[in-house]
Amino acid sequence: MASIILNYAMESSNVVTVRLNGTHKMREKTEECLIELEEGITLAHILKTACKSFGCKDNYKIAKLYNKNGIQLFKDDIILLAGGDILYLGSKGEDFYFSAILDDYQIIKELGQGGFGKVVLGKHKEDRKEVAIKFMDVSENLQSASMIQNIYKEAESLKKLQHKNIIQLYHAFVESKQLIMIMECAGGGELYKWVEEKGRVSEIDTRKIIFQVINAMHYCHIRGIVHRDLKLENVLFKQTGDLTIKVVDFGIAGVCEANKKDKVDAGSIAYMPPESLRPGSETSPAIDVWAIGVMHYAMLYGHLPFWGDTEEEFVDKITNQPLKFDADVPVTEECKEILKCMLQKNPEKRSDLITLIQTEYFMVEDEEIEAKVKIQEEKLAAIKKEEEQKEAASKLEDKFYDGMLFQKPVGAGASAEPKKGGSSVKNGSSIKDKSAVHKQKPIRKF
């Protein structure tokens, strides 16, 4: 028969802790029930013992038992229990209160805050594992039962994603008008901030990072999941000094934002493809391909491929402006072709991710890319040197004619005013110059 110990610790490695399922306030008033896992113990024994300890002994026939992840346990699961496990008793047969999971974590510090809510660093009280806990205000969505159902449905889909370049979602639930997500912690910082500090990223490093994003999203696409909000801010480094990345903020946040049609985000609209800017557009994998192309371009050139100071300008540039490449940045022709495939305005002609993965550009060794980049650098250096020589010769000629009694003949090496910034074709705003807008600052209504 199961034995029960109340109010004191039991010196045994074969003991499970049973807590009462419920809200935070309910749990604060309830003591824990410690039960020893004796040989042959059954689910019925655990339910009877726990119900008796919590003053509801007659409820054991309808009561339910859950593990710490909110999964209901049945009679065949009891053999899998081990000492130290934490269980939750649904004394009235109610569903699991996922908010109970928060009790297992100690809040260490705040990691970030914005219009979405806030993210804090949490540490599990037992195994000391660190997690990121995100709190989002979903009060506008709670009026719709179907919306809450969609949140949990989306969460269940995302929890099944197991990929080295995708942040693992452990739990997602709604409590006190907040969507709470407990997920894997990536401590290396945002890709956006890293790019902002560098100004431009080398083609070698850019290729390594973008290839990981492509792989992660291809994994999702073949499972019917589209991110919908890919951008530099939603890619994190696993740890400082390591180029291994983790994609975060999948569609579960999009479910919550679905009703907020009037709130357009500059940091998001910059990554939207032309088809998403038209009324009645549908979600498709092509949306993510375009966004990855924008990220790819921004890392290489230090600015976005299409820029606008207003929402209307953004829409016009993304929809109508041809893709251009800065002439003074050494990028291989193969890389430019990849960008053209991803930033194809017609979604039906835009490359899919499996096609991109299989291109030679992502298969060759770094040394081959480095050699081609070096050739581009040498060409740019030669062009720059030639321009400097022409400018020097023109200044010398201008000096010769200064003070002469006759004017310099028309067309005799007359020099035009030097172009500012060399031969660069700036078709987008610098990430650093426009950081205030690019960092998801909401666009005003014009």
- Give pLDDT, residue 13: 74
Helix axes 285-301, 203-221, angle to 10 degrees: 170
Give the pairing type, strands 15-20 and 86-90.
parallel
Regarding whether 92 and 142 lie in a shared domain, the answer is: no
Query: What one-letter code names the amino acid at 193?
Result: K
- Give pLDDT, residue 125: 86
For the cut 90, the answer to whether the pLDDT of residue 193 exceeds it is yes
- Give pLDDT, residue 282: 80
Average pLDDT value for residue range 244-264: 61
Average pLDDT value for residue range 258-275: 65
Q: What percentage of the chain carries pLDDT values higher than 70?
A: 78
Summarize pLDDT for 67-117 with one digit per residue, the tens: 887 889 999 999 999 998 889 999 999 988 877 788 889 999 998 886 667
The CATH number linked to 79 is 3.10.20.90
Burial of 397 (0-12, 13-18, 19+ CB in 10 A): middle
Tell me which of 317 and 443 has the higher pLDDT.
317
Regarding whether 214 and 74 lie in a shared domain, the answer is: no
- What does the DSSP 8-state code read for residue 235? E
- When computed from its CA atoms, the radius of gyration of the chain, rounded to whole angstroms, is 30
Spatial separation of the C-alpha atoms in residues 344 and 355, rounded to whole Å: 14
The CATH number linked to 232 is 1.10.510.10
Is residue 416, in this structure, part of any structural domain at all? no
Residue 350: pLDDT band with limits 50, 70, 90: very high
Regarding whether 153 and 204 lie in a shared domain, the answer is: no
The CATH number linked to 127 is 3.30.200.20
Summarize pLDDT for 202-213 with one digit per residue, the tens: 999 999 999 999
- Give pLDDT, residue 429: 55
For the cut 80, the answer to whether the pLDDT of residue 281 exceeds it is no
Helix axes 333-342, 285-301, angle to 10 degrees: 140
> Of the candidates 41, 72, 96, which is a domain's last residue?
96
Quick check: helix, strand or coil at residue 32? Answer: coil
Regarding whether 150 and 284 lie in a shared domain, the answer is: no
Regarding whether 141 and 89 lie in a shared domain, the answer is: no
Quick check: helix, strand or coil at residue 119? Answer: strand
For the cut 80, the answer to whether the pLDDT of residue 339 exceeds it is yes
- Give pLDDT, residue 143: 59
> Of the candidates 184, 205, 224, which is a domain's last residue?
184
Regarding whether 155 and 8 lie in a shared domain, the answer is: no
Q: What is the average pLDDT score of the chain?
A: 82
For the cut 70, the answer to whether the pLDDT of residue 419 exceeds it is no
Regarding whether 208 and 179 lie in a shared domain, the answer is: no
Segment among 96-100, 258-262, 291-295 with least mean pLDDT: 258-262
Spatial separation of the C-alpha atoms in residues 138 and 51, rounded to whole Å: 35
Is residue 125, in this structure, part of any structural domain at all? yes
pTM above 0.85, yes or no: no
For the cut 50, the answer to whether the pLDDT of residue 17 exceeds it is yes
Residue 174: which of 189, 153, 200 has the closest Cα?
153
- Structure token digits, residue 138: 């979903």
Average pLDDT value for residue range 296-306: 96
Is residue 414, in this structure, part of any structural domain at all? no
Q: What residues make up the domain containing 130?
A: 104-184
- Give pLDDT, residue 412: 52
For the cut 90, the answer to whether the pLDDT of residue 191 exceeds it is yes
In which order are the strands placed within the sheet that holds 15-20? 3-6, 33-36, 15-20, 86-90, 64-67
Positions annotated as catalytic residues are 229
Spatial separation of the C-alpha atoms in residues 134 and 191, rounded to whole Å: 19
Summarize pLDDT for 372-396 with one digit per residue, the tens: 999 999 988 888 888 888 888 887 7
Regarding whether 175 and 195 lie in a shared domain, the answer is: no
Element (H, E) at 173: strand 169-175
- Give pLDDT, residue 29: 54
Average pLDDT value for residue range 1-11: 43
Residue 145: pLDDT band with limits 50, 70, 90: low
Which residues are documented as binding site for ATP? Answer: 134, 184-186, 233-234, 249
Which residues are documented as binding site? Answer: 134, 184-186, 233-234, 249
Regarding whether 226 and 161 lie in a shared domain, the answer is: no
Average pLDDT value for residue range 39-46: 93
- Give pLDDT, residue 430: 56
For the cut 50, the answer to whether the pLDDT of residue 415 exceeds it is no
Average pLDDT value for residue range 128-154: 76
For the cut 90, the answer to whether the pLDDT of residue 335 exceeds it is yes
> Of the candidates 184, 201, 219, which is a domain's last residue?
184
- Give pLDDT, residue 308: 86
∠ Cα 128 130 136 (to 5°): 135
Regarding whether 303 and 240 lie in a shared domain, the answer is: yes
- Give pLDDT, residue 390: 83
- Dihedral class, residue 180 (left if φ above 0, else alpha if ψ from -120 to 50, else beta): beta
Count of domains for the chain: 3
Regarding whether 342 and 210 lie in a shared domain, the answer is: yes
Q: How far is CA 358 from CA 214, 291, 344, 371, in A?
A: 11, 19, 18, 21
Regarding whether 111 and 91 lie in a shared domain, the answer is: no
Residue 267: pLDDT band with limits 50, 70, 90: low
**C-beta separation of 327 from 423 below 8 A:** yes
Is residue 274, in this structure, part of any structural domain at all? yes
